Structure 1
């Protein structure tokens, strides 16, 4: 038992050291390139000319790791490449980045969460296995939590990778398209495209509230039916 605990302790220390080194490298990269300044990011991407899409894609991949807002990158994608290409590049990069974040959370945080919640995590895992796609999709579409926090939460749970990827792609496309369209429309704020982009942004903020309301209603009804069934079973006994 002691030998096993020593081995587990060494593994935990090793993971902590590698995580610390990784985070320090990421912080150094962000500070050196000033990735927190969206204007500077725009200059960096544009400076690469025909390779700009590739550089933008790389920045979108590392964006979830450094927790920069996906909305700003979506807008920047629209400014640089237009609505369609901006959406495609941002979705592709953000999806790859979210997969990396998913596995980061699973590697560095899963054991810690299991120890913290003890046996309670198994109940959560069963729900995640059954409704992994739905959970991921809803958390992406309904912006209750930041997009990248959702990636780490999903990595800590037992949501399957394929359900996670599908839910992520379909969940981030609507918001990414709207923000990219807004970015593209900034080239001419007197155009109908700009007017429609503002309308879409308003709808984007309203629709999730409506979805959340109806989803919670259905969930409440489902729980209520289950509760009534349990009461009836208790009476029969």
Structure 2
């Protein structure tokens, strides 16, 4: 399934970027992990355009997701159940959600649900959602092939570092003082 989808994009010519961006919107329905799209973007379009198209696709997917969970209560209820099964009743900071977005195969929509619950408006949700996928998009689009071919111990080390950072962000007493919030504010997000 994955190969057929990406082969169709590769053979689409000038319309390929549009198809790739739209596939991001339908990615959750196709049950494809987001990391596959990060890596495929770099493979199909190169680092710069792969990153750009992936960011646009993830922004559109985030906007559609926001609308779906606010219009279809059963979708929100289902994802809330998944969230409880995966994370229990754990409250996370914005930094922790964004660190988890760096880890492949973590349920992207559950993390987006956390963002919806943390924010007070669509604009704020989109700001944090887009800002939170910039680093993973650049990382996996640029180094996707390298990361997937790393020896198992290097891969474990990479994810151990991410886990340490995840827990470090969780040690903040005041969510308003979260380091990521300050960085985003300085950057104009």
Output the TM-score relative to the length of structure 2.
0.67
In structure 1, the gaps of 5 or more residues are: 1-36, 117-127, 187-193, 224-237
Determine helix, strand or coil for the equivalent of 1:211.
Answer: helix
2:125 is aligned with 1:164: yes
In structure 2, the gaps of 5 or more residues are: 81-90, 176-189
Aligned to 1:106: 70
Greater shift after overlay, 42-51 or 59-68?
Answer: 59-68
2:165 is aligned with 1:211: yes
**Equivalent residues in 2 for 1:19-58 (5 A)?**
37-58=1-22
Structure 1 stretches of 4+ moved >6 Å? 199-203
2:135 is aligned with 1:174: yes
Provide the aligned C-alpha RMSD in A: 3.5
2:96 is aligned with 1:142: no
2-side partners of 1:179 and 1:112: how far apart? 28
2-side partners of 1:153 and 1:164: how far apart? 10
2-side partners of 1:85 and 1:213: how far apart? 33
2-side partners of 1:39 and 1:111: how far apart? 28
Cα–Cα, structure 1 residues 140 and 88, in superposed 2: closer, same or farther, change >3 Å? same
**Equivalent residues in 2 for 1:1-237 (5 A)?**
37-109=1-73, 135=94, 138-143=96-101, 145-155=106-116, 159-183=120-144, 186=145, 194=146, 198=150, 205-219=159-173
- The answer on whether the counterparts of 1:65 and 1:97 sit within 8 Å (CA) in structure 2 is no
Deviation at 1:155, TM superposition (A): 4.2
Cα–Cα, structure 1 residues 206 and 95, in superposed 2: closer, same or farther, change >3 Å? farther
Deviation at 1:203, TM superposition (A): 6.8
Deviations 1:91-127 (A, max 9, x none): 11011111111111111128986xx9xxxxxxxxxxx
Aligned to 1:235: none
